[in-house]
A and B are shown apart, each in its own frame.
Chain A
Amino acid sequence: MHTLAAVFQDIPVDLILIQTVNGIVAGMILALVASGLTLIFGIMDVVNFAHGELFMLGAYIGVVVIAATGSFWLAFVVSSLTVAILGAALQIITLRPLIGRDPLTTILATFGLSLVLQNFALWEFGPTARKVGEPINASFQLFYLTYPWYRVVIAGLSAVIIGGFWLFLKYSKYGVWIRATTQDRVMAQAMGIPVPWVYTGVFAIGAGMAAASGMLFSPLVGVNHTMGLDWVLKAFIVVVIGGMGNLGGSIVAAIFISLLESYASIWVSPSQAVIVSFVVLILTLLFRPTGLFATPK
């Protein structure tokens, strides 16, 4: 009891609050990545192993466009659109032929894609990490720390993208198409909805979201061909914890996990802080395998 009190006494409250902000920032990016993943799974029943690579490609295309034009935000838009189109193409070539087959074949196919994309990036850009400058250099005072505005912008922008997508899903014609397809693929077709194209569209949107996250995140870490791997793993953990196919659940889970990890890194190194997400995963699998935040569909 004494040691516990001592531990808590040693930690200044402001550090916890700073880690809360960090946790939310990381959580929002993770939420954006995980949303794309859970969307693709929820609507198409496809586990997209290549999602991390789409994230990575988004960052690399950003690097290229910034080098050519000097504008971060232009790169952001171009990279998201390019990867979305690439995603659509990949879906048409490799995943459409597999519709109706054993869902495990799509895991294998997307795994193959991730290998190809990763090695392509390695071949094209080399093994050294690239650096991307932050587009906004201003910062503000958060307790004793000078906290960069850019991080807050990331969180805000991710929220806007996710929110925008939610509105699209709820109110637009294509949003209705997507929801109808999710609920009854056969009747959606009988109503004239071109289901194969809905799938392609959803995959493209998911890919675009991944690329956007990759681009937003790139100034925080180096852009490197393996950057996707860690993220896709985290995203999968988040998606399982939040409930596969459950958009709201993944977002909450993403923030939850990131907050826990941020707090954990007060005491242990970041590479060990990931154990937290593993523990939560194991607990979820033990007690609520359908997901901690799963709402009955």
Chain B
Amino acid sequence: MTATPIDKALPLGKSGLSHSAIFWIGFCVVMAVLIVAPFVLPIFWAKFLTECLIWGLLAMSSDLLIGYTGMVSFGHSAFFGLGMYGAAGALLHTHPPNLWLAILAGLAAAAAIALFVAYFSTRLRDIYFAITTLIFSQIFYVIIFTWTSVTGGENGLIFSRPHFTIPFIVDARFTTTTMHWFVLTVVAGSYLILRRITQSPFGMVLQSIRENEARTRAIGYPVQTYKIVAVMLSGLFAGLAGVLYGVQNEFAAPDFVYFITSGDTVIFNVIGGIGTLVGPILGAGFFQLLRELFSRLFGEEFPYLIPLGVVFIAMIIFLPQGLLGFARRWLNK
């Protein structure tokens, strides 16, 4: 008898397919649909889809903390915003504006801020952690809002979208479709990377911290170090989402750094299902869709956040695992 890892290799169910196979088939199907989408949808909806993916990435980054490590963070607006501004800075100060430099700059800014925030807030548990991340994201909001000379203050920064360049091979402008594909690649790639991380030994420790922090520490793991790394990873991907958003929309504004964005992110997570990675993406999409629907049915002025807020509260009380929560075990195998 060979010792094969049971979950992944042994056939399950009547279809005779392993869990791995089902996952990859599902993944490919979803990717195929998303790749084809811009050809089928009108421009508005294609752009809408792209934006949903970006918010999804942001939500996914936050899921690493909320769903896997058990730390609710309200600081993601800072990471997202810094990614955006970092990219903006790179795009405004280099000629010609370089996409890759923008991404690097955005990631660096987000990582730096994440380290700073992580250092202070990971000392505290639970609620205190949540509050301090909130306060920190507000600190950055105030700094960005008032440091007009560097950040453009209230008005933010406007810049033009860089070309997609691979040195010596390609130099092309982004169209709605190619932008969509680029975002899709980044988001899908991030998902796979994050999935790999959560299934790695590192990810297992994070989940152990979520289950029982004291016990994890007692076993000998340097819990705070793990937490700091988790926050930084989370911040990196959030920053990446910020870069994408900036590149997609060609502006950076302080509004995104306001803690409400963090709050929205948490909402996506809860609606979609924490601890699933995909759930938050769905939650983001669901939220944006509802918002669009409400404004179409009832007009721009309709306070869509009232019914949405009520739905959110109801979900916390009655359906705390979120839409995809039931699939959590399966998705994490």
Contacts and interface: CB of A to CB of B under 8 A. Distances in A.
A285 B136 CA distance: 12
A275 B143 CA distance: 8
Nearest to A268: B146
B306 A233 contact: no
Interface string A255-297: 0000000000000010110110010011001100100000000
Interface residues of B, number: 36
Interface in A114-137: 115-116, 118-120, 122-123
B316 A47 contact: no
Interface stretch (B35-43, B120-128, B168-176): B120-128
Interface string B115-139: 0000011011011101110110011
Nearest to B143: A275
Interface stretch (B19-27, B101-109, B193-201, B307-315): B307-315
B131 A285 contact: no
B142 A98 contact: no
A236 B135 contact: yes
A107 B301 CA distance: 28
A236 to B, nearest CB: 6
Contacts of A274: 142
A97 B317 CA distance: 7
A286 B120 CA distance: 7
Given A108-B270, A116-B313, A233 B135 contact: yes
B303 interface: yes
A150 interface: no
A159 interface: no
Contacts of B134: 233, 236
Given A108-B72, A111-B263, A240-B128, A116 B309 contact: yes
Contact of A236 (B131, B313, B316): B131
Nearest to A123: B303
B124 A275 contact: no
B interface SS class: helix
Contacts of A120: 303, 306
The residue in A111, A240, A286 that gathers the most chain B C-beta atoms within 10 A of its C-beta is A111
Interface in B279-327: 301, 303, 305-306, 308-310, 312-313, 316-317, 320
Given A94-B317, A119-B306, A233-B135, 7 more contacts: A98-B317, A103-B127, A115-B308, A116-B305, A119-B305, A244-B127, A278-B142
Interface of B: 72, 120-121, 123-124, 126-128, 130-132, 134-135, 138-139, 142-143, 145-146, 259, 263, 266-267, 270, 301, 303, 305-306, 308-310, 312-313, 316-317, 320
Among all A-B residue pairs, the 3 with the closest Cβ atoms = A116-B309, A112-B313, A115-B309
22 contacts: A97-B317, A98-B317, A101-B320, A104-B126, A108-B72, A109-B316, A115-B308, A116-B305, A116-B306, A116-B310, A116-B313, A118-B305, A119-B305, A123-B301, A236-B134, A237-B135, A240-B131, A244-B128, A271-B142, A275-B142, A285-B121, A286-B120
